[in-house]
Amino acid sequence: MLDLLQKVCDAYGPSGYEARVRDVIRAEVEGVVDEVRTDRLGNLLAIRRPRGSGGAASQKVLWAAHMDEIAVMVASIDDYGFARVAPVGFVNPNTLPGARVVFENGVEGTFGVEGAALPREALTLPSMFLDVGATSRADCPLKVGDLGVFRHSVVRAHGETRVLGHNFDDRAGVAVLIQALRELGDSPHTVLAAFTVQEEFSLLGAAAAAFGLEPDFAIAIDVTPAGDTPKIKPRDACLGAGPAITLKDVAVIGHPQVKQALIAAAERAGVAFQLQVSFIGTTDAMAIQTSRTGVPVGTLSLPARHIHTPTQMVDLNDLRGAVEVLKALVSS
């Protein structure tokens, strides 16, 4: 699973510009499912039709994980070759000094703060500049509109299963989805896997995918802030304690039947899971829930520490657990 995670994490894919990561995912799911296509907004849709004999009444199940990652967009370049940027998705300015930013054309840079060689204050984006080493506007290899993503490397932290990386939100979910599709056995249901665009920006991709696919119910697979670091309350969604079934976030109350189905699937699969009520953020489930005449949704969350910073941490056991839950969910 670590190899797969590294592969999808290293693919460039800021919101709205997901072509490269889409190609990487497509290569992983082609041949595994019955149909792979890209819709007009760039969502990658992988469809697995029912296999095996009979069983329960067939349903169309949407699994959504977003391909995009947070980024910065070049807004202007000054006479000295420094760039000013706009956030794409939630970017915390205080995490930027020392962060490594990589552009689609391979150019790399980092951030500085106006008038401060060693900044000590809380930072705001307008007071910061992106430095790629250019000496003048003409020398700068960036153009207005270019998007930079945060990059380090995806490596093991302490222990066998803790991993550090730059964009587990939501490449961890993408890896889970790919792995679940690969391992999927017979199922009476149609699995509609959507690798969505622009979740970090507007949930636009999930809204379009849900409209196009018309699922009977849907699960969003995304990271959730882990509640097991110092002084965080409540202590839920702990790293390594299994995937979290998120019952409510700031925008979505999961459908009771989907919640029960997820709990039953986890129990059937014999994997540890956690129940969570989240006070931060939301997921593709928000947009899917109001598609057409409404879609019952649930959220399967992967606990992650330090999300929306350039270096995040997940536990591979949670990813493995999520794969098992998804498989069990559609097995009968």
List, by residue number, the catalytic residues.
199
Residue placing its CB nearer to another protein in the complex, 198 or 283: 198
Is 220:277 a contact under the CB 8 Å cutoff? Answer: no
Determine, following the binding rule CB under 8 A, whether residue 231 of this chain makes contact with another protein. Answer: no
Question: Segment near another protein (CB under 8 A), from 10-18, 22-30, 186-194, 261-269?
Answer: 10-18
Going from the C-alpha of 224 to that of each of 77, 221, 248, 262, the distances in angstroms are: 35, 10, 12, 17
For residue 143, the minimal CB distance to another protein (Å) is 8
Task: List the one residue from 212, 240, 247, 263 that touches another protein (CB under 8 A).
Answer: 212
Tokens coding 282: 């939301």
Task: List the one residue from 180, 204, 220, 302 that touches another protein (CB under 8 A).
Answer: 204
Determine, following the binding rule CB under 8 A, whether residue 39 of this chain makes contact with another protein. Answer: yes
Determine, following the binding rule CB under 8 A, whether residue 76 of this chain makes contact with another protein. Answer: yes
Q: Which H helix or E strand runs over 131?
A: strand 128-131
Question: Segment near another protein (CB under 8 A), from 26-34, 51-59, 68-76, 319-327?
Answer: 68-76
For residue 4, the minimal CB distance to another protein (Å) is 26
Question: Segment near another protein (CB under 8 A), from 5-13, 34-42, 51-59, 262-270?
Answer: 34-42
Residue placing its CB nearer to another protein in the complex, 252 or 322: 252
Task: List the one residue from 8, 9, 12, 16 that touches another protein (CB under 8 A).
Answer: 16
Residues 6+ positions from 106 with CB-CB distance below 8 Å: none
| C-alpha torsion sign, points 52, 57, 60, 64 | negative
Residue placing its CB nearer to another protein in the complex, 8 or 204: 204
Determine, following the binding rule CB under 8 A, whether residue 159 of this chain makes contact with another protein. Answer: no
Task: List the one residue from 44, 67, 74, 223 that touches another protein (CB under 8 A).
Answer: 74
Q: How many CB atoms lie within 10 A of CB 38?
A: 16
Determine, following the binding rule CB under 8 A, whether residue 17 of this chain makes contact with another protein. Answer: yes
Residue position matching structure tokens 């095996």: 52
- The closest of 150, 181, 146 to 167, measured between CA atoms, is 150
Is 195:321 a contact under the CB 8 Å cutoff? Answer: no
Give the span between the Cα atoms of 254 and 245, in whole angstroms. Answer: 9
- The closest of 194, 324, 217 to 264, measured between CA atoms, is 324
Angle of helix 2-9 relative to helix 19-29, nearest 10 degrees? 150
Judged by CB under 8 A, the chain residues 129 through 158 that form the site for another protein are 143-145
Site string for another protein, 40-59 (x = CB under 8 A): xx-x----------------
3-class SS letters over 161-172: CEEEECCHHHHH
Determine, following the binding rule CB under 8 A, whether residue 208 of this chain makes contact with another protein. Answer: yes
Determine, following the binding rule CB under 8 A, whether residue 15 of this chain makes contact with another protein. Answer: yes
Give the span between the Cα atoms of 57 and 167, in whole angstroms. Answer: 38
Residue placing its CB nearer to another protein in the complex, 86 or 247: 86
Give the span between the Cα atoms of 123 and 51, in whole angstroms. Answer: 54
Longest alpha-carbon distance in the chain: 69
Task: List the one residue from 111, 195, 201, 217 that touches another protein (CB under 8 A).
Answer: 201
Task: List the one residue from 61, 132, 207, 285 that touches another protein (CB under 8 A).
Answer: 207
Tokens coding 332: 């009968």
The site for another protein (CB under 8 A) is made up of 15-17, 39-41, 43, 73-76, 78, 84, 86, 88, 143-145, 198, 201-202, 204-205, 207-209, 211-212
